[in-house]
Every structure is written in structure tokens, then in C-alpha cells.
Amino acid sequence: MDSVLKAWGRLTNRSPVLAFVDWCLRGIGQVMFQDNPLTGAIFLAAIAWGSIAAGAPAVLIGGVVAVVAATLAALWLRVDGAALRSGLFGYNAVLVGLALPTFLPAGRLLWLYVLLGAVVSVVATRATAEAGKPFAVAALTFPFVLVTWLMLLASHGFSAVSAPLAVEPAVLPIAESNPLDAIAFLGAVLKSISQVFLKASFVAAILFVIGLAVNSVAAALFAVAGAIVAVAFAHLFGAESELVTGGLFGFSPVLTAVALGTVFYRPSGRVALYALVGTLFTVVAQAATNAALAPIGIPSLTAPFVLTTWLFLLPRQSFETGKG
Amino acid sequence: MDSVLKAWGRLTNRSPVLAFVDWCLRGIGQVMFQDNPLTGAIFLAAIAWGSIAAGAPAVLIGGVVAVVAATLAALWLRVDGAALRSGLFGYNAVLVGLALPTFLPAGRLLWLYVLLGAVVSVVATRATAEAGKPFAVAALTFPFVLVTWLMLLASHGFSAVSAPLAVEPAVLPIAESNPLDAIAFLGAVLKSISQVFLKASFVAAILFVIGLAVNSVAAALFAVAGAIVAVAFAHLFGAESELVTGGLFGFSPVLTAVALGTVFYRPSGRVALYALVGTLFTVVAQAATNAALAPIGIPSLTAPFVLTTWLFLLPRQSFETGKG
Amino acid sequence: MDSVLKAWGRLTNRSPVLAFVDWCLRGIGQVMFQDNPLTGAIFLAAIAWGSIAAGAPAVLIGGVVAVVAATLAALWLRVDGAALRSGLFGYNAVLVGLALPTFLPAGRLLWLYVLLGAVVSVVATRATAEAGKPFAVAALTFPFVLVTWLMLLASHGFSAVSAPLAVEPAVLPIAESNPLDAIAFLGAVLKSISQVFLKASFVAAILFVIGLAVNSVAAALFAVAGAIVAVAFAHLFGAESELVTGGLFGFSPVLTAVALGTVFYRPSGRVALYALVGTLFTVVAQAATNAALAPIGIPSLTAPFVLTTWLFLLPRQSFETGKG
């Protein structure tokens, strides 16, 4: 693995085009915090599989177009070079590019919409980083959530990009919870991982776990553990079974588990317990945002992850030093 | 009074268990900004009376369980000792523990829910304190509002803790305002004070005023004055009489009056007038949050107090120096 | 023009009353970022024309009462003198004073409501300025949006100021887009400018452009260009024609174009392109807030401008230096 990455590093040093590809791949990897082009490439394969298997190639195209457009826009905006080379201006754009064609009907203007969203995601990434500085918190996927929420909400008012039979804004119905057998449980866990990239696919899920593991075994373990904890907790509290088995209660908790357990805190038993509480509360936040957003007809995206992780990251300094 | 507190102080110095009780009682007192275990004990008596008289002992139990759990969690999280000993990690938890059993049906999983809420309220208290640092504003009851809103919203999606006949999310109906005689007015004022702890009880209200007075006569006066001003203003503008007489337009203004008039600014005529404007605007904010939250079926809690008091506290430095 | 301003300056130096008038006029000019009493006077004439032509003199009176009350309140609160003399404590109040009588029925208590709103707008302006300091962003019209949203929402609960036949809170209907001829396009552009002051009037629009031009030709040009871009983009994406021709898709983008293109960044080709992206995204934000606010029955006001401009201003330092 290391030798593959070294050979790739030599290639990117010689070719600006390959360097650009490298930044884009790292951008895809950064959706799950991995600054590694191989992880990004495996994630891209998972996205491709998930999109094509679901008969929605526009989703794959949207993701690729968006990360390329965002990286170009970041160059034009003369962003910080190190951040750009680590893919930090790409991961929000990838998600915008996957989300818009997932929720909106295909069409010529959709691509203009994706391009605008990708460019604005770069501005929003810098704005969020700037706003987070006094609090020493990372932007996470807030720029993706903000831009995509606005563009999906706006689609209600733009007939050129609005779905003719879009999901009706409505008050959330009472949850219907059914028993969950071992197979359904495993499916729910895997789909929780693939839903980070808005996919409900077992094959994609396995590719995502492999992609994580090639860069960080700890991240892969926390992703799987986060998914198991989230599915069990959601089911215990009687969450709608269709949402649980579709992975829709688990993708934000997966991100919280990886972020709190392996990225922002030095791993320890105490940190693992802290990450567990954060992961459980992300499930609560998921159910909460589902209910809050139902009347305006937009999905939660990764807002439950962003909200909970910010909450658990803000006290970082005092958590680590035991002061404050 | 002082000798009672001194004797209690000697006891808590000798016994870690009594010290822990002291922190919890101060936590209850801090709901209305009073760092005094006697105030906390009187408040606890008021909560007990209100809960048992209303046939809802689960509310009392919830409050006690939550403050104990939060204080233990704060110890585990190694928070700042001085803040812990002043009850600053308990008051949000008490409110979470009172609110969840008030709005959700009893049941085994409710207690797990209360425990999770209490622990997360500690994380949220630290996070809010950290986020407020650059602006020199206190956390107030924001952690309580945030955690409880999320958990109540989430209950819509969790059949194990959702009320079978929960209040339907709905557009707010037009207010119906009826004449208010002196007795009804007095009742509205008293209930405005007891509703700070989610109770509609005259006896509890009188206990709360006594509890305030043993630590700060000014706080007791501003609480009563805030309630009078709020009830009068809400009635003048034709607010729904049932809400006004139930104290539901007055509890946030009571907190604003105490906070602006006696806690965060040095008392003066100018400060009293400033606190008056803040108290009036809290009534507006109460009506506003009622309307904004109606479609998603959650109560305003003390959000109107938090919002208005932050607005009136942010300019503190310039207000006091006359610069800026 | 300059000699007129100089003569006026001599008069205001001698008379405290005229000085006070000067601060109020500058407050009106600052709605579109112009610190110039002549601009303010022309804007006031435009407001007067628009209000009286529409048979709504209460709107004009509301605006004048609010700016006077806010300036007096700012004096009492001992705000920073330079900011006061530049009209920075007046522009939010003017807008509050125009908005409340626009959306609420006339009546004695409405005037008390306007006075409260004007005074609180001063507190909110200081609070927003204080909150924005760590991020080096200006308050923009956020205080107006916050205070007016709360007061309009609250009116649902106050029968003394609520409209008997207020617009029903509802889910937004699907947009209906019709062809737009040149005359309709021009009308949409002009009304987009006058809607900054909540007016749909050609004459007022022309006066607003003149008022801008006497202080800054660049501002006038960016206002017109912003309106053109916004109307074209909204129409291209199939926005509801009635809203587009009424100027309701263009007023926030007009403010974004002026703010990003002429006020906060040093003009350049790169800045113009950046302002263009910001202006386009403000149209998206307008459609988004329309949809998000429909269920609670309040208008977007200038929230799309505030949100987008903050997003594009936060990275200012790194945008200008090319670092970060």
C-alpha cells in the first residue's frame, strides 16, 4: 500500500493534472476525514457502484463534477495551499454534488445548479472555518448541509429544478417499529455506513469500510461500532423500522463516532466512552431534525452529526486538560 | 439564616456525601441564579409540592435524578471545580429532568432518556460556556433548551417515549383575550414565577419567592416585578387569556428581569429601565416562539429568556462604559 | 452637490436639532450603505411617494417615528458617537418602522409596538456588532430581520396587533412561471430596487437610484446590475412570475451586489465576479427562505441578503491576502 502511495506521489509531483486528481481524490476521502488518495479512489468506486446499481448515474456525475468545479474555484479564490492539497475544499462539494441529483429531477439547469452549489460550497467552507476559529472547531460538513438545504428549499420555488412529485412537506407520522432479525440488523449497520454518501448499498458499504481501513483501521472500527450502536439505540427506542433498516438513523452517528473517537481526540477509554455518548445523542438529534424538518420537506443530511460533534468538540481543551 | 448556612458549611466540609448534596442543591438554586443551598432546598420543596399536588411525582423524581446524574457526569468529565461547587453544572440538568417527564409519558425507557439528557446537558453547558467566551455572555438556560427541544422533537420518532395523544403540531390559533380581574391577575403573576420550574401552583410560587429572598431580596423583587410587567403587557396586547393566567407568558420575562436587573448589571435606575425594556421584549419573544414552534409541536421552554437576555447582555461592556 | 452638503454641514454644526435630523437622514441612507444626508433625504422622498401613492401613509409615519425613537434611544444608551453620527443606529429602525405597519393593521397599540421595536433595534444593533467583532463582519440588516420577525410572529398571539385576515401560514405552492417581456423585465428590475424599502413603485425606484448616485455612482450601478442579474436568474429557473415582477426576488440580491461589489471589498474584476456569485446565491437563498418561512407565515425580509453576504464576507481577509 505504502509503495503504491509513494509511486503515486512521484507521479503527482511531475504532472499538474495528476496533482489536481490527487486533490480531488483526497477531497472524496475527507468526507470521512481521510487525507489519502487511495481511500478517495476506493470511496469513488463505492459511489460509482452505488449510483449505477441504483440506476442513478447522474448522482455519480454530480459528485465528480462538483469536486472538480470546487477545486478549480478554490484555486481561483487563492485558498490556503496546504488545505487545498489535503482535500479540505473538496469534501463538502462532493456531498453537494451527490445530494442535488439525488433529490432533484435531472435536467440541463440541474447541472448549472450543481456548479453554483459546488462553487458556493468553497466560499461556505472558508466562511465556516473563519467562523469556527475563535472556538477551535472544524467546519465538518456544515457547508454541505447549509448549501444543500438552501438549494433544496429553493427548488420548491424554482419550477425548472423542482420535482413534479416531490415528497410533500408534512407533519411526521408516528413511528412504526417492527422486530429486527440478525440479517436486517446487519443490513441496517452496513447501510448506515453507505448512507454517509447517500447510498443504500451493501457493496458500497463494504468498499467504504475498506477505504477507511487502508488509511486508518481505527476509523474503520469506529465507523462499524458507531453504526451498530446507532442501529441498536434507534431500534430500542422504537424508531421507524423502515428508516432504521435503510441506514437513515445511522449515517450521522457513524461520522460522530469516527470524528470523536479517532480524529479530534487522542484515543483512550475515556474518549471512547465520550464518543459513545456523542454517538447515542446523534441518534436523538437525527430523530429530532427529521421531525423539525418534516413541515418544510427537506432531509436532515448530516446536520445531526455536525450539531452533536460541535457540541462535543467545543469543550475539547477543558476535556483534555481537566480545566474549565 | 447565616448560622444555618455556616453549620451546613461545616457539615459539608466533613462529609463528601453532604458536599455532593450541597452542589446539587446549589444547582437547583442556580435555575434562578442563586448560589445558595438553602435557596435550592426551598426550591426543591416547591418542586415537590407542585409535582405531588399535580399528581405527577415522576416530574419530581426526574428533576432529582437528573441533577444527581449530571453532577456525577461533571465529576467524570473533570469540569472546573469552582463552577461545579457553585451548582453551574446542575441547573440545566434539573430543568431537563423536570421537562421530559412533564411532556413525555412515563415508562422504563423514559428514565434512560432522562439520564442521557442529564449527561448531555453537562457537555452542552461546557460547550455553550466555551462558545460564549469571546462574547463574554453566560450560558443561561440555553443547554436546557437545546437538549430538551431535541429530545422532545426526537420523541415524535421514538415510539417508546412518544405520547400516544401528544399535542398535535398545528398552526397557532388566533388569540382569545378575555377581561382579567384582580384575582386572575394575581394568579397569573404567581404562576408566571412557578412556571420557571414548569409548575402552575400558587404554593410553589410563594416558596420560590421565599427561596429567592433568603439569598437576594432584590432578586425576589425583580422576579415579582417582572411577572407583573409581563402579565400586564401580554394582557394589554390581547394575548390568549388561558396562557396568561396559566403563567405561560410570564416565566421567561421573570428570568430576564432577575438576570438583567440583579445578576449581570450593577443595579441602578438606568439598569432598571433597561431591564424593563428587556422584560417587555421577552413577552414579544414568548409570543413569537409560541407561533414559530407550533408547526413542530414543541414548547418554547425558556428560549425567549435566553434570546432576549443574550441580546441585552452582548452590549454589556459598551453599556457600562458608554463606549461603543 | 458638494456645496449643498457643505452648507448643510455648517447648519448642523450650529443647531443640535438639525444635527439630530442629519443623523436620522444618514440612518435612512445607511439602509443602502450610504453615509450621506442628501441620499437619506432623497430616500425619504421615495419612501413618502411610495407610501402615499399606495394609500398607506402609516408606513411613512412608522419609518420616521422609528428612526427618531431609535436615535433618541441610542443617545440614552450612550452608544459610540461616531457610529451614531453616521446613522449606524438608524437604518435598522427605519426598516422596522416601515415593516410593522406594512404587515400589521393600524391601531393605537401598533404605535407602541413600533416604538418598542425601534428601541430594541438599537440594542440588537449593538449586540450584533459585538457578536460580529471576532469575525470582523458588519451587522448588516440582521437586527431589523430579527426584531421584525419576532414582532410579526408575536402578532399571531396578540389580538391587538394581529391582522384579522392575515396571510394564512401554508406550505408554499408550486411556482408558476410565465414568459417575461421587456417591459415586465424592466418593471421587475425597478421594483427589485424599491422593495429594499418594502415598496413596489417605479417612481420610488428611480429616486432610490438617484439617491445612491449622488453619493456613489458605483453603488447605483451595482444596485441596477444586481437587480438585472437577480431577475434574469430567478426567471431562468422558473420562479413564480408574480413574485419576480413584484420585485420580491430582487431586493436582497440588490443589497448583496452593492455590499460585496462596492462597500466591503476594494472594487476589481475578481471582486465583481465574486459579487456576481454572491448575488446569484442570494436569489437561491430568497427562494429558500420563502419556502422555509411559509409554514409560519412570515416574510423573508432581507434575511437572504444577510445570510449570503455574511457567508461571502467571512473569508474577507483570506480572500484579499490569498492566505487561508
Inter-chain CB proximity B287 and C124 less than 8 Å: no
Which residues in chain B touch residue C153, judged by CB atoms under 8 angstroms apart? 287-289, 291-292
Q: In this predicted model, what pLDDT tens digit does every residue of A47-91 receive, in sequence order?
A: 999 999 999 999 999 999 999 999 999 999 988 899 999 999 999
Retrieve residue A155's grid coordinates.
427548488
Question: How many angstroms from the chain centroid is the CA of residue C323?
Answer: 32
Task: Please write the tens of the pLDDT for every residue from B75-96.
Answer: 999 888 999 999 999 999 999 9
Closest residue in B to A286 (Cα–Cα): B154
B1-166 and B170-324: identical CATH topology: yes
Query: What is the band of B172 on the pLDDT scale with cuts at 50, 70, 90?
Result: low
Q: What is the pLDDT of residues C218-242, one digit of tens each?
A: 999 999 999 999 999 999 999 999 9
pLDDT band at C83 (very low <50, low <70, confident <90, very high): very high
- Round to whole Å and give the CA distance between C199 and C51: 8
Helix, strand, coil % over all residues of chain A, rounded to 5: 75, 0, 25
User: What class, spelled out in words, does domain C173-324 have in CATH?
Assistant: mainly alpha
Name C67's Cβ contacts closer than 8 Å, sequence gap at least 6: C24, C27, C28, C90, C93, C94, C97, C118
Mean pLDDT of B155-183: 74
Q: Determine how many CB atoms are found less than 10 A away from the CB of residue C63.
A: 31
CB contact under 8 A, A311 and B79: no
Interface contact B159-A176, CB threshold 8 A:
yes
3-state class of C299 per DSSP? coil
Contact at CB, A160 and C135, closer than 8 angstroms: no
Backbone phi, then psi, for B208, in 5-degree steps? -60, -40
Which chain A residues have a beta carbon less than 8 Å from that of B168? 171
What Cα–Cα distance (Å) separates residue B41 from each residue in B5, B35, B96, C198? 12, 11, 18, 54
- Mean pLDDT of all residues belonging to chain A: 93
pLDDT beyond 60 at B24: yes
> What is the reported pLDDT for B267?
83
The C-alpha atoms of residue B307 and residue B286 are separated, in whole angstroms, by 10
Q: Which of C249, C284, C293, C313 to mutate to test the interface with A (most CBs of A within 10 A)?
A: C284
* CA nearest neighbour of C248 among C85, C38, C67, C102: C102
CA distance B109 to chain A (A): 7
Among A25-34, A162-171, A228-237, C274-283, which is the least confidently predicted range?
Answer: A162-171
**Shortest Cα distance, chain A CAs vs residue B62, angstroms:** 19
What backbone torsions phi and psi does residue B239 show, to the nearest 5 degrees?
-70, 155
Among B124, B127, B154, beta carbon nearest to A291: B154
B26 and B36 Cβ atoms separated by less than 8 Å? yes
Instruction: Count how many residues are written for chain B.
Output: 324
In chain A, where the domains are located = 1-166, 172-324
CA distance C169 to chain B (A): 7
Rounded Cα gap, residues C106 and C102, in angstroms: 9
Fold (CATH) for B170-324: Ammonium transporter fold (1.10.3430)
- Alpha carbon B61 to its chain's center: 17
Distance from CA of A129 to the nearest CA of C (A): 9
On average, the pLDDT of chain B sits at 93
Closest residue by Cα to residue A121 from A163, A62, A195, A167: A62
Report the run of H or E that residue C289 belongs to, with start and end: helix C269-293
Question: Do residues B234 and B173 make contact, with C-beta atoms less than 8 angstroms apart?
Answer: no
Phi-psi region of A247 (alpha: psi -120 to 50; beta: other; left: phi over 0): left
User: How much is the ipTM here?
Assistant: 0.94
**Are C312 and A77 inside 8 Å of each other by CB?**
no
C239 by DSSP, 3-state: which?
A: strand
| Block residue for cell numbers 449527561 | B119
Distance CA B9, CA B37 (A): 10
pLDDT of B266: 86
Q: How confident is the model at residue C180 (pLDDT cuts 50, 70, 90)?
A: confident
Average pLDDT, stretch B27-53? 97
| Percentage of the residues of chain A whose pLDDT score is greater than 70 | 95
% of residues, chain A, pLDDT over 90: 85
* pLDDT classification of B166: cutoffs 50, 70, 90: very low
Burial of B266: CB neighbours in 10 Å, binned 0-12, 13-18, 19+:
exposed
Q: Of how many residues is chain A composed?
A: 324
* CATH number of this structure's domain A172-324, picked from the four choices 1.10.3430.10, 1.10.3720.10, 3.40.50.150, 3.20.20.70: 1.10.3430.10
Share of chain C above pLDDT 90, in %: 85
Q: How far apart are CA A1 and CA A3, in angstroms?
A: 5
Does domain C1-166 sit in CATH 1.10.3430.10? yes
**Contact criterion met (CB < 8 Å) for B314 and C131:** yes
pLDDT over 50 at A206, yes or no: yes
Give C-chain residues touching B299 at CB under 8 angstroms. Answer: none
- CA geometry: angle B7, B8, B10, nearest 5 deg: 65
Q: Which tens digits make up the pLDDT trace of A150-171?
A: 999 999 999 999 875 444 555 5
Confidence of residue A300 (pLDDT cuts 50, 70, 90): very high
Count contacts between A and C (CB, < 8 Å): 118
Residues on chain B touching C128 (C-beta within 8 angstroms)? 314
* Cell numbers placing C303: 434575511
The answer to whether the CB atoms of B80 and A319 lie below 8 A apart is no
Give the nearest partner residue to A239 out of B123, B130, B158, using CB atoms. B158
The whole-number pLDDT of residue A64 equals 98
Please tell me the least confidently modeled range out of A147-151, A159-163, C205-209. Answer: A159-163
Mean pLDDT across the stretch C109-135? 96
